[in-house]
Amino acid sequence: MTKAYITKYALTRGIYIAEGELKNDGEVFVQRRDREYNFEQFFKKKEFQLTEEEALARADKMRAVQLKKLAKEYQKLSELEFTIKE
């Protein structure tokens, strides 16, 4: 079993540690979620990291990208002018 830091949900649920297996030469991480129902969850390379430092760096990058998007949206809304049409 391999330990991975799941960053897919870093901006909503935070980073969490999972046990699983690496597949496809490390491109996919497979986490067995529930023994009773026996299902697996798959994460692509950008969605997991193998070290804490990589996970924190990825989360910081995700936050920066999201803040940039929000700033652009804020700017667009700030410049919006309303008119009433007759």
Q: What is the largest CA-CA distance in the chain?
A: 67
pTM for the predicted model, two decimal places: 0.82
For residue 18, what are the β-bridge partners?
4
Average pLDDT of the residues of the chain = 94
Q: How far apart are CA 19 and CA 82, in angstroms?
A: 53
Residue 13's pLDDT is 96
Q: Which residues of the chain have pLDDT under 50?
A: none
Residue 21's pLDDT is 95
Q: What are residue 79's phi and psi, to 5 degrees? A: -85, -5
